[in-house]
């Protein structure tokens, strides 16, 4: 099985841009144990204000105004809910 694109969006939101890209992959991206590769980000004036991704070697993590912390991925719906919660906290 090849990677299957589940969702890809790029659109204006508030004073910035939201980009969402989520794939289902045949094998987990190390060190993750799930079969999803994702990058969801809210950018304002070329600065990442909120982001969630699972980069190879780093695993699931989130970015919030320059601070990076681990993220416990439990599913795509929860990922999107957490992302939009953080974006909405930035945009009021």
| pTM of the full structure | 0.93
- Does the pLDDT at position 55 exceed 80? yes
Number of domains comprising the chain: 1
61 closest CA partner among 79, 85, 42: 79
How would you class 38 by CB atoms within 10 Å of its CB: exposed for 0-12, middle for 13-18, buried for 19 or more? buried
Q: What is the pLDDT of residue 1?
A: 74
Q: How confident is the model at residue 53 (pLDDT cuts 50, 70, 90)?
A: very high
Give residue 71's domain range.
Answer: 4-91
């Amino acid at each position: 099985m090849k990677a299957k694109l589940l969702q890809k969006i790029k659109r204006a939101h508030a004073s910035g841009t939201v980009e969402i890209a989520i794939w289902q992959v045949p094998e987990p991206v190390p060190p993750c144990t799930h079969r999803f590769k994702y990058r969801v980000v809210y950018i304002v004036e070329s600065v990442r204000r909120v982001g969630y991704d699972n980069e190879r070697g780093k695993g699931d993590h989130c970015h919030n105004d320059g601070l990076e912390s681990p993220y416990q991925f439990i599913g795509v719906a929860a990922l999107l809910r957490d992302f939009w919660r953080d974006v909405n906290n930035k945009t009021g």
